[in-house]
Structure 1
Amino acid sequence: MCNIVSKFFNQVMKRLLTVVCLLVGLAALAEVPGSEKQILVDLYESTNGKHWVRKWNLKEPVDTWYGVTVRDNRVVGIELFHNNLMGPLPESLGQLQQLETLNVAFNNLTGQLPATIFKLRKLRVLKLEMNRLKGELPETVGNLTELRELSVFNNFLSGRIPNGIGSLKRLEVLNLSSNQFFGRIPESIGELNNLRALGLFENQLYGDIPESMGNLAQLKELVLSNNRLGGAIPESFGRLASLEVLQLQNNEFNSYRNLANMQTDKLLVFDYDEEESEIDFKNFDFSRTRMADTKFEDDVDK
């Protein structure tokens, strides 16, 4: 009886082992869809992949390619920071519907900003800074409702900052600095309740700062210098209790009076056109502040 049970047990274990091996083999053979692989090849060819610092071996599986993250056989991340990409981004990028991270910062990308990028509704991080991209930031940027970080500083982007930016409720970092954006800062920017860093410096923005900016209770860094912003500093700035960095210099403000309502005990950086101010900040310890050119940028030594 024992022999019969033993043989039966051995047969069951052998079959189970066979099934496990088959499943492992199938998993090993699994790869991203051919269409997604082709989109990555488009990116490689469009941005002169043969001259990248870290190149891809297109004959190897996609999940071995530098900077590509694959999960459940779908491409969810592309991180090619400082990798000598040259040329335009392909329109086909917008077909990577599971993409969560696109970081191609600090490269030599040129051409128009592909409108298809703003169809990537699962995108959480979009970093395009330090390139030579042109075009406008479209209203469809508001489709990226999962976005936590949007950084495009130091490009040649132009046009107005779209009202759709206010739809990005989860956004924590927004840096549009050192571009050619013009016009007024949209009121909708005050709807970004989770925003911690906002950089708009070195553009062609004009008009009053919207009062709604005072709603950004989580904001720690606000850099608006080197524009043509005017009028008075909003009274609502007194509600920016978390602020640590505030840079306002080189604008056309006619009154700084409302800065006196701010809590200055947390400020580490405070730059404004002092000679134009009618306020004497007697309670502010300037000795512990520092001048800063804040770009919220990646560490280029990574």
Structure 2
Amino acid sequence: MNNFLKYALFILSIALGQGTKAQISNTEKEFLINLNKSTSGEHWQHTWDLNADPSSWYGVKIEAGHVVGLNLYRNKLEGKIPVGIGNLKNLKNLNLSFNTLEGNIPPDLFELKEIISIRLEMNKLSGTLPNDYAKLQNLEELSMFNNLLGGTIPEGIGSLKRLRSLNLSSNYLEGNLPKGLENLTNLERLELFGNKLTGSIDVELGKLVSLKELILSYNQFEGDLPSSTASLSNLEFVQLQGNDFRSLNALMQLKSQNLAVFDSDDEFLNLKFKKGVVDRTRLVDTKFEDVKN
């Protein structure tokens, strides 16, 4: 065999290997096609050619023959997320935010053991949150603000030991904060603005030792803020206004060196922490408008 033929066969083997690597299973491809059809894929801003290889589809990231990323942020999706997303067993990052998705969140989404980030904010999703999060042990980000979600915040959310960001703002969530939240020792951002949450806060917030942002504004919380809140030395952003707290005296001893924004209904505390003019658009958090995932 001459050198030219050997070289040609070598190049062909590489090409075939790359082509094989780009393939995904029929079940994964079937879900992607169902998602496209159930969300008016022909009207997406970035459409898919369903006859082409999925590796060429906008927002689909494939590694080692599996879908690991699905990013259709602000892509004009309309309709419902179909059941079957659980077939994307290697999915790590899901971003369907800033679309017009409606209906319930498929329960099999919460069976994805590899998932790191779930972002469904700024849609019209309804229904309630699931109770069981035991399989999501790699989850670091759960963002569902500005939807139509109701019911309570499940106790099971406290099992998400790696969670760093929880944003459920601007929904219709009600009831008390679940005690399980205090297990989220890696949590850096807790954002629950603009719901119907009620009652005294029995969660020992001081156990959230990594917390940087605490946003509980415009709910119906009452009673005293837990005294342990004063130990949160990493706080940078605090908003508590629009509630019925009896006392925020726990924060008199707060010694966070990084506090940039503090807003409450206690004017003395506002002055103490040198409250400036708060950008109210920050309450409806849109700082995640990116396409990194």
Q: TM-score, normalised by structure 1?
A: 0.89
Is 2:241 the partner of 1:286?
A: no
Distance 2:102 2:172 in 1: 15
Inter-CA distance 160–282: structure 2 relative to 1 (3 Å threshold)? closer
User: Contact conserved, 1:135 with 1:157, CA < 8 A, in 2?
Assistant: yes
What 5-or-longer segments of structure 2 have no aligned partner?
none
**Aligned twin of 2:157:** 165
Sequence identity (%): 39
SS in 2 for 1:144: coil
* RMSD value, Cα: 2.1
Tell me how far apart the structure 1 counterparts of residues 140 and 206 of structure 2 sit (CA, whole Å).
20
- Matched residue, 2:175: 183
Q: Helix, strand or coil for the counterpart of 1:259?
A: helix
The alpha-carbon distance between structure 1 residues 211 and 28, as it changes in their structure 2 partners (threshold 3 A), is closer
Map 1:60-209 → 2, pairs under 5 A: 60-209=52-201
CA contact (8 A) 2:263 2:270 kept: no
Distance 1:15 1:139 in 2: 61
Q: Deviations over 1:213-243 (max 9, x none)?
A: 1111111111000101010011001111000
Q: Distance in 1 between matches of 2:68 and 2:275?
A: 45
Structure 1 position 119, deviation (Å): 0.9
TM normalised by structure 2 equals: 0.91
**Amino acid corresponding to residue 97 of structure 1 in structure 2:** K
Q: How far has the Cα of 1:251 moved from its partner?
A: 0.6
Instruction: Number of aligned residue pairs: give it.
Output: 288
Within the candidate set 29, 37, 41, 2:19 is matched to 29
The answer to whether 1:244 aligns with 2:244 is no
1:17 is displaced (CA, Å) by: 4.5
Kindly indicate whether the alpha-carbon contact (under 8 Å) linking 2:191 and 2:216 is maintained by their aligned counterparts in 1.
yes
**Aligned 8 A contact 1:269 1:291 in 2:** no
Gaps of at least 5 residues in structure 1 are 1-9
The letter for the 2-side match of 1:285 is K
Query: Is 1:232–1:255's contact at 8 Å kept on the other side of the alignment?
Result: yes
Measure, in 1, the Cα distance between the counterparts of 2:243 and 2:269. Answer: 19
Where does residue 250 of structure 2 map in the other structure?
258
Matches of 1:132 and 1:109, distance apart in 2: 6
After TM superposition, where is structure 1 displaced by more than 4 Å over at least 4 residues in a row? 13-19, 279-283, 298-302
SS in 1 for 2:205: helix
**Is 2:188 the partner of 1:215?**
no
Residues 84 and 108, structure 1, Cα contact 8 Å, conserved in 2: yes
Matching residue's letter, 2:220 = R
Which amino acid is 2:178 matched to? P
Q: In structure 2, the residue corresponding to 1:157 is in which secondary structure?
A: coil
Q: CA deviation at 1:255?
A: 1.1
1:274 positional shift: 2.4
